[in-house]
């Protein structure tokens, strides 16, 4: 009986701390909201949706911005002063947010061609079936069309290289039409 009572008291003591931690993370995330939205659903399509992304991918990207392996005029200074704990907390916060469906009007003909290209290049070997991502491999299902196109072009131009070479290599096989088709296909995959 005493052990059960102590367990319940200990459990009750952690609830306010967890709520405070969540509020602290939400406060830290406010600076991200201008681009990524308050819930990780981006306010503009050239920014990535963070909601529903794998926490490990988000953490690795923040770390790459923080340590200079990935560069962006907006993100690099934002990540420069984040601690490891900040990056982990923000990654977990956004991973737990639900991804909202995209308002992008998918061209079904281009999406069909994008699926064929994705099958040909074996994209699901890394991104998994449904393109839900895993560990440090991003979820791309339902991601913003403009962001997908920008990132594929950046890998192709080798201006984004924090991928251990896999995406840079795959992107070399894509032309502008392939990239447009893949963007339509991936954006159209609903969460």
Q: What is the pLDDT of residues 88-135, one digit of tens each?
A: 999 999 999 999 998 999 999 999 999 999 999 999 999 999 999 999
Gap between the Cα atoms of 132 and 128, Å rounded: 6
Residue 79 structure tokens: 């990540």
Average pLDDT (39-65) is 97
Q: Which residues pair with 134 in a beta bridge?
A: 137
- Tell me whether residue 88 is annotated as binding: no
pLDDT of residue 12: 47
- Tell me whether residue 35 is annotated as binding: yes
pLDDT of residue 23: 86
Asked if the model's pLDDT at residue 14 lies above 90, the reply is no
> Which CATH number is associated with domain 20-96?
1.10.760.10
- Cβ neighbors of 1 (< 8 A, separation 6 or more) are none
Instruction: Give domain limits for the chain.
Output: 20-96, 108-188
- Tell me whether residue 32 is annotated as binding: yes
Protein fold of 108-188: Cytochrome Bc1 Complex; Chain D, domain 2 (1.10.760)
- Tell me whether residue 125 is annotated as binding: no
Q: pTM of the entire structure?
A: 0.87
Residue 190 structure tokens: 């609903």
Average pLDDT (11-40) is 79
- Tell me whether residue 126 is annotated as binding: yes
């Amino acid at each position: 009986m005493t052990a059960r009572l102590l367990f319940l008291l200990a459990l009750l003591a952690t609830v306010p701390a967890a709520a405070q931690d969540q509020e602290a993370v939400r406060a830290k995330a406010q600076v991200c909201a201008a681009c990524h939205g308050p819930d990780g659903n981006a306010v503009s399509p050239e920014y990535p949706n963070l909601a529903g992304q794998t926490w490990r991918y988000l953490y690795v990207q923040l770390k790459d911005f923080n340590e200079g392996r990935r560069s962006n005029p907006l993100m690099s200074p934002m990540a420069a002063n984040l601690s490891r704990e900040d990056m982990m907390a923000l990654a977990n916060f956004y991973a737990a947010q639900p991804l909202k469906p995209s308002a992008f009007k998918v061209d079904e003909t281009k999406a069909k061609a994008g699926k064929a290209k994705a099958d040909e290049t074996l994209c699901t070997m890394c991104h998994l079936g449904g393109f839900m991502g895993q560990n440090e491999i991003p979820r791309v299902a339902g991601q913003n069309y403009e962001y997908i196109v920008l990132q594929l072009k950046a890998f192709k131009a080798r201006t984004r290289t924090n991928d251990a070479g896999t995406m840079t290599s795959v992107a070399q096989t894509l032309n502008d039409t392939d990239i447009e088709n893949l963007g339509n296909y991936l954006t159209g995959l609903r969460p």
